[in-house]
Amino acid sequence: MKIATWNVNSVNARLPLLLEWFHAVQPDVCGLQEIKCIDEKFPVEAFESLGYNCAVHGQKSYNGVAILSKYPISDVRKGLDDEEDDHARYIEAVIEAPKPVRFGCLYLPNGNPIATDKYAYKLRWLERLRARAEYLLTLEEMTILAGDFNIIPTKDDLWKEAPWLNDALYQPAVRHAYQGLKNLGYTDAFEAQLNVSGTPEGNRYTFWDYQAGAWPKNEGIRIDHHLLSPQAADRLFDLVIHKDARGMTHDEAKPSDHVPVVVELTTKS
């Protein structure tokens, strides 16, 4: 079972590229972030034509998350909790596969600049995510929290440390919060696969900025993650970072600055 995450940086602006990738890779489930459209403007029919069910939590021009699944989707939840938040950053659902999976797709706040409320909002959002993540473990289900976390977990997850020392993605409090999610009992799928077979596909970055030639120079960072509950981690078979997607073009459509990351779970009983 292939479960993907991809910050697409506008689903409609890049739709031809997305459909090309979905047709080639055929993920069973995919969480999209930064769809940048309201629910009614999401290209449901285009994905349904490829065999996907859609659950969407959109927002005009900014943010927005969606879950696409070849299996039926149930128990859809939009938002982390009852706290008022006008940002569409979290959607969760049960994927009704033969071995059901609870899948949370998230787009964590960027948080820059760090001397503003944007960073404080990021830290508050992380606290709310931790509360939800902790609750989900009590269900003892196969659970995956995936998406653009906007967190660089370690020094090894960036091309060069100096430019990021004052960035919200690499602050000690933010990295500590990410470690706290793992301390609850979640496994970073990339790190688990790294321990088994080395760097997947010879690369660990998932994002390359549009500026300063970051992509041609491979000046990237790893900020797109899958966190697996113990029940899901036990079934982890592989992880692939689809680096080639960063160079995709289609007519006037340019690639996202993120690439898809796909984990594969076994179907063992």
For residue 226, what are the β-bridge partners? Answer: 146
User: Which sequence spans correspond to the domains of the chain?
Assistant: 2-265
- The more confidently predicted of residues 252 and 213 is 213
pLDDT at 194: 85
- Quick one: fold of 2-265? Deoxyribonuclease I; Chain A (3.60.10)
Residues 6+ apart with CB under 8 A from 233: 186, 187, 189, 192
Q: Is 148 annotated as a binding residue?
A: yes
Q: Does residue 34 have a known ligand-binding role?
A: yes
C-beta separation of 108 from 148 below 8 A: yes
Share of the chain above pLDDT 90, in %: 89
Give the pLDDT score at 250: 76
Residues in the chain: 269
Question: In the annotation, is 258 catalytic?
Answer: yes
Q: What angle do CA 115, 121, 126 make, to 5 degrees?
A: 120
90, 107, 119, 170: the catalytic one is 107
What pLDDT is recorded for position 203?
82
pLDDT at 268 over 80: no
| 28-67 per-position pLDDT tens digit | 999 999 999 999 999 999 999 999 999 999 999 999 999 9
What integer best gives the mean pLDDT of the chain? 94
112 annotated to a ligand binding site: no
In angstroms, the CA 30 to CA 24 distance is: 14
**pLDDT at residue 147, as a whole number:** 98
The predicted model scores a pTM of 0.96
Q: Which one is catalytic: 28, 52, 119, 148?
A: 148
Q: How confident is the model at residue 85 (pLDDT cuts 50, 70, 90)?
A: confident
For residue 116, the surrounding DSSP H or E stretch is: none
Query: Does residue 257 have a known ligand-binding role?
Result: yes
